[in-house]
Amino acid sequence: MKKRGISFWSTVLAGQFLLLILWDVLQVQTEWIEAQYAQGFFPRFSMLYKSALYYLPFSAGDLIYVAVVVGLVMLASKFCIALFRKQLFRGVFIFLLLLNSVLALYHIFAVNWGLNYYRVPVERQLGLEREQVYLADYLQLLNSCIDTTNLLRTQRPTQAPTFKIMQADMEALVAEDTLLNGYLAQGNLRLKKSLLAPMISAFGVSGYLNPFSLEAHVNQQVPPFTRPFTMVHELAHQQGIGFEDEANFIAFEKLKNHPNIHYRYAANYQLLTYMLMELRGIDNTLYQAYLARLSQDVVADMEEEQAFWKEKTGWIAQVTTIFYNSYLQHNNQAEGVARYNRMTRLVLSSYLKEKGC
């Protein structure tokens, strides 16, 4: 029986490796992926998931994550036991089962959502491509961002909207907005609280899209003034945006003119933190000078956010960052986690385009 099982799973494994080759071939066919997958297959296919899980009040994806991890750990444990007992055929059988399971998960990921990493970039869709960015332009945008953020902070009411109100507002905003109309998948967009909030806080994660259930999740433990940006970022992923800087850019663009001051502040605050972070790597003296221009209240918000992550994260977040960095690099983002910061380049290009530059 074991020998027949080994033969069967070996054949399945060969087929799965052929699928890996197919993904490699498709990944360089950007125009095909855009037309056939991102704007053809994905919007229709994703609607099945979103419709089925829309009214479910909790995250099915988090339960899937737990089940997958438990299942893989059990298989790995059985494999180790078989090796320890020198049960050769059983060990090979379990190893093939384990390897096939991992590859099957990867293929589901690719079909469900993963090929969005290889679609036509947003900067091409919006005509924001620039060969070079000048520091003078960057500082001009940063000056404007600092002034706007300082002003909005003085106008922001003390009481932030509840999570439920924010959730409804962000879902409505994304559903009604026309930015990148025809490029983003619409219909049944939904945000959910994470069932794993304490764990993902320890990982340093503020939100995520589950590629197996296509549910957008927000870490409800993060400071309220950061939530709106994270919510729109994750909804952008749910709509088929793969690149992290593009999801950040879409979040900024959709929130920057929102009538609610809390939401406008969230957009400008996030842009400000990314721009300052990038400037620190370019010129520390300039960074210190611009940092000194922030109001005490904005600095207090930054300190609150830093204190939150310092309390929640530790060595495990550093390990998670290493794995996540490799994940992004494998999925067409050579910069890894630094890709998030590239949002500033897109915002600057949009800013200059609006000025006619």
- pLDDT digit of tens for each residue in the chain (357 aa)? 567 778 889 999 999 999 999 999 999 999 999 999 999 999 999 999 989 999 899 999 999 999 999 999 999 999 999 999 888 889 999 999 999 999 999 999 999 999 999 999 999 999 998 878 889 999 999 999 999 999 999 999 999 999 999 999 999 999 987 888 888 998 889 999 999 999 999 999 999 999 999 999 999 999 999 999 999 999 999 999 999 999 999 999 999 999 999 999 999 999 999 999 999 988 999 999 999 999 999 999 999 999 999 999 877 777 777 777 777 777 767 666 666 778 999 999 999 998 776
Q: Mark whether 96 and 139 lie in a shared domain.
A: no
Using the 8-state DSSP alphabet, how is residue 332 labeled? Answer: T
Give the pLDDT score at 269: 98
Joined together, the tokens standing for residue 151 give: 């002003």
Q: Which domain holds residue 83?
A: 2-118
Tell me which amino acid residue 288 is. Q
Q: Mark whether 157 and 112 lie in a shared domain.
A: no
The number of residues in the chain equals: 357
Task: Tell me how far apart the alpha carbons of residues 152 and 264 are, in angstroms, rounded to a whole number.
Answer: 8
CB-based burial, 101-111: b 16+ in 10 Å, e otherwise = eebeeeeeebb
Tell me which amino acid residue 158 is. T
Q: Mark whether 147 and 53 lie in a shared domain.
A: no
Q: Mark whether 103 and 171 lie in a shared domain.
A: no
Q: Mark whether 167 and 303 lie in a shared domain.
A: yes
The total number of structural domains in the chain stands at 2
Degrees, nearest 5: CA angle 68-332-282:
115
Q: What is the pTM of this model?
A: 0.94
Domain contains 17: yes
Tell me which amino acid residue 338 is. A
Chain-centre distance of CA 253, in angstroms? 16
CB-based burial, 9-25: b 16+ in 10 Å, e otherwise = beebeeebeeeeeeeee
Measured CA to CA in angstroms, residue 64 lies from 125, 215, 236, 318, 324 at distances of 34, 11, 22, 25, 19
User: Are the C-beta atoms of 231 and 167 separated by less than 8 Å?
Assistant: yes
Give the pLDDT score at 336: 67
Give the pLDDT score at 319: 76
Q: Mark whether 98 and 144 lie in a shared domain.
A: no
| Tokens 């509840």, located at residue | 162
Q: Mark whether 33 and 149 lie in a shared domain.
A: no
Please, which residues have CB within 8 angstroms of residue 294's CB and are 6 or more apart in sequence?
Answer: 146, 149, 150, 272, 302
Give the pLDDT score at 320: 76
Task: Tell me how far apart the alpha carbons of residues 311 and 202 are, in angstroms, rounded to a whole number.
Answer: 9
Residues facing 191 on adjacent strands: 216
Domain contains 76: yes
Q: Please classify residue 290 by burial: count the beta carbons closer than 10 Å to its beta carbon, then call 0-12 exposed, 13-18 middle and 19+ buried.
A: buried
Task: Tell me how far apart the alpha carbons of residues 3 and 118 are, in angstroms, rounded to a whole number.
Answer: 40
Give the pLDDT score at 293: 97
Give the pLDDT score at 194: 96
Give the pLDDT score at 338: 63
Task: Tell me how far apart the alpha carbons of residues 60 and 70 are, in angstroms, rounded to a whole number.
Answer: 15
User: Max CA-CA distance within the chain?
Assistant: 73
Task: Tell me how far apart the alpha carbons of residues 282 and 22 are, in angstroms, rounded to a whole number.
Answer: 41
Domain contains 123: no
Domain contains 290: yes
